[in-house]
Copies of this chain bind each other. A is one copy, B any other.
Amino acid sequence: MTIQAAIGELSSLLGQRLVRSKSELAQHGASESHFALAPPDAVAYPETTEEVAGLVRICAAHRCPVVGWGTGTSLEGQAQAFQGGVCVDFTRMNRVLEVSQADMHVRVQPGVTREALNEELRATGLFFPVDPGANASLGGMASTRASGTTAVRYGTMRDNVMGLEVVTAAGEVIRTGTRARKSAAGYDLTALFVGAEGTLGLITELTLRLRGIPEAIAAAVCGFETTAAAVNCVIDTIQMGVPMARIELVDAETVRAVNAYAGMALPEKPHLLLEFHGSETGVAEQAETFGAIAADHGGARFDWATRAEDRNALWAVRHNAYHAIMALRPGARALITDICVPISRLAEAVETCRADLERAGIDGPILGHVGDGNFHAVLVFDPEDAGEKQKVIDAANRLVDLALSLGGTVTGEHGIGIGKLGYMEREHGPAWALMGRIKAALDPDGIMNPGKLVPPRN
């Protein structure tokens, strides 16, 4: 069997760092989502780009699937090995290679996590802003085009990856981008690999853009009577051009879950969680502008916190939300929707979603990055109850139709993997086939993360 032949050669290349124990295979075959276990045939722990290239060349020769693995926190099954093969775990490629304070960028290996990077940067006055919640690896975040709470101000991985080193499907090492702030030199290969979910190659090094830690940071929380009022407040804030660093919605159901989970006592109504970055006067000006807009929408008098520990407590609410929701119903799983719509249609999208879930009798707390028009409904279901699971899938489908009808996208940040493969043609029309042609050109044997993102071949 071709996979077995590859594994034999990989063992010679990697020795003890090619692992086939049941527990390792099971761990790398799981995900945080509702997909069935899909273990690889082996897990590889390369330590250098050259080892990754050698590994891919062996797999290419034997047409053995190659699936990248960062921390396993992707939500659409991107890192699961649905066709078996070799899982390439980048845990051992976790070095920060070079910090350039003067140019405000950093060169890292793909296994560095965002928290580890920011820890390493602490003394420099710089930070890496993209924050998807999970302490994901930077290679994984690039591969899934992650974003999160700060994208409203600092952009997504699309905007913060300057260049890559990639091992192609042929096992060749290429570099994309430069260390300059811009370039017009040919096709934007960096942007092509960011969000490709490992289907075109494996990222073995990233050059990332850093930002200066702001002189002043203030966080705030503001309650509203209705979700619509909170969302309309967001829309006005964005349209006024207030450069919010974070502006997140948690609806009443989410607040209820967080209160129960973390022993908090927030009023059980929709809240916006906010963060302002800038100079002292800039932050004060932003907070004042926001306060006036919030008051127009019936927002409660809002408090801001400038002490780091108060801010951290506030953001723990947001970061705990998913676990808090899941704790409400032990043993349940969740399908997390991820639609993103133009900001002008956000209130309509959230209200339609809420009404739809209520009509269908689904538990679906709503939270998300509303400054981007992106929100998640956490659709909780009993995995043993096929009827309930189908009800949830049907609701997610209706939400996708809603997003597309409003000019939006089926996924703001979680990506495609296998979870949203069925929506690609609806979102992209004939452009999806064009993605398939790019895939076929760069990975003619289809070994890189097969079965994901692009149309199945014939």
Interface residues of A (CB under 8 A from B): 100, 102-105, 144-147, 151, 156, 158-159, 168, 172-176, 178-189, 191-192, 194-196, 211-212, 235, 239-241, 279, 281-282, 285, 338, 340-344, 372-374, 403, 407-416, 420, 423-424, 427-432, 434-435, 437-438, 440-442, 453-454
Contacts and interface: CB of A to CB of B under 8 A. Distances in A.
A168 B434 contact: yes
B172 A415 contact: no
16 contacts: A102-B235, A105-B342, A147-B184, A176-B428, A180-B342, A180-B374, A180-B409, A181-B340, A181-B342, A182-B372, A183-B412, A184-B338, A185-B415, A188-B195, A212-B239, A279-B285
B158 A188 contact: yes
B180 A412 contact: yes
A102 B412 CA distance: 19
Nearest to A414: B184
A366 B237 CA distance: 42
Nearest to A166: B431
- Copy number of this protein in the oligomer? 2
A430 B343 contact: no
A191 B384 CA distance: 43
A441 B431 contact: no
A355 B408 CA distance: 53
A100 to B, nearest CB: 7
Given A100-B342, A172-B430, A184 B144 contact: yes
B453 A104 contact: no
Given A180-B341, A281-B285, 14 more contacts: A105-B342, A145-B188, A146-B184, A174-B428, A178-B340, A180-B340, A180-B374, A180-B407, A181-B343, A185-B424, A185-B427, A189-B431, A189-B434, A437-B441
